[in-house]
């Protein structure tokens, strides 16, 4: 059976007698340089959310906009409490704005629906709304004002009573002043003068009108045909008299 082996047994014995050299130990791989992680450019990718956070920072301070962290000491916990809404509204209305005329002031809204504000802002950014704006105005419509209404409504959800009503009126008063009373802005006062006071109750539509006869539709139709015939005859007589002159 020796023909099955490629080498003779003697050769295999000689090979086994050779001293085996120690296996080379693998040297530890050099430490790879630390991969530089790129810091995110902004914590908020949505510009509308970033704008909302900026408004919150302006009203509540920079402490409320920072990310919540676990306080290292129990004494630092009260510093993370946000200010009460009443104090915020007081500082918000501390600087009086220019008021509108009495009629416009009386028609300013005192309630606001956050659902409607969100639907209006969300629809403004849809394809259908922008296509309609391009078709009607020839340009893309801006939605920042609608999103401002929504974020304002969300900020005032915790308010109640007269505080909330005054905040909403102040918001709409600012919009009216910037839209119609700013420099170079169109105003309805360019066409007509506004009223200085409300119309007294139950004083409008006092002009008397002739009472319509209580007849059927068929009788009314016959009377109307007769009236038109008499009016046409009167016009014909006037035209004939001018021709004879």
Q: How high does pLDDT run on average in the chain?
A: 73
Which of residues 196 and 133 earns the better pLDDT score?
133
Read off the pLDDT of residues 62-76 as tens digits, 9 standing for 90 and up: 544 445 455 455 444
pLDDT at 152: 95
Across the range 77-98, mean pLDDT stands at 45
- CA dihedral over 110, 113, 116, 119, signed as positive or negative: positive
Distance CA 245, CA 238 (A): 11
pLDDT at 143: 93
Distance CA 97, CA 87 (A): 18
Write the DSSP assignment of 47-112 as a string of letters. Answer: HHHHHHHHHHHHHH-HHHHSPP---SSGGGGGGGSPPPHHHHHHHHTSSPPPP--HHHHHTS----
Place of tokens 């009016």: 231
Residue 80 scores a pLDDT above 70? no
Residue 141 scores a pLDDT above 70? yes
**Distance, C-alpha 20 to centroid of its chain:** 81
pLDDT at 73: 52
**SS3 assignment, position 164:** helix
pLDDT at 48: 76
Picking from 187, 179, 182, 181, the residue whose alpha carbon sits closest to that of residue 145 is: 179
- pLDDT-above-90 percentage for the chain: 31
């Amino acid at each position: 059976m020796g023909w099955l082996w490629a080498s003779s047994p003697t050769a295999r014995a000689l090979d086994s007698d050779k001293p085996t050299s120690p296996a080379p130990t693998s040297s530890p791989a050099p430490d790879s340089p630390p991969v530089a992680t790129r810091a995110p450019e902004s914590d908020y990718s949505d510009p509308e959310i970033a704008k909302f956070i900026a408004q919150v920072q302006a009203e509540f301070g920079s402490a409320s906009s920072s990310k919540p962290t676990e306080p290292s000491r129990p004494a630092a916990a009260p510093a993370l409490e946000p200010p009460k809404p009443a104090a915020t509204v007081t500082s918000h209305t501390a600087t009086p704005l220019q008021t509108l005329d009495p009629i416009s002031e009386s028609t300013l809204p005192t309630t606001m629906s956050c659902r409607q504000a969100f639907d209006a802002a969300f629809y403004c950014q849809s394809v259908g709304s922008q296509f309609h704006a391009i078709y009607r105005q020839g340009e893309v419509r801006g939605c920042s004002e609608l999103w401002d209404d929504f974020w304002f409504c969300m900020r005032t959800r915790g308010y109640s009573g007269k505080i909330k009503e005054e905040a909403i009126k102040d918001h709409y008063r600012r919009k009216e002043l910037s839209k119609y009373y700013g420099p170079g802005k169109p105003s309805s006062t360019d066409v007509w003068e506004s009223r200085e006071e409300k119309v007294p109750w139950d004083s409008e539509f006092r002009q008397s009108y002739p009472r319509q006869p209580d007849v059927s539709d068929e009788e009314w139709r016959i009377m109307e045909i007769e009236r038109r015939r008499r009016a046409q005859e009167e016009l014909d007589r006037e035209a004939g008299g001018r021709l004879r002159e």
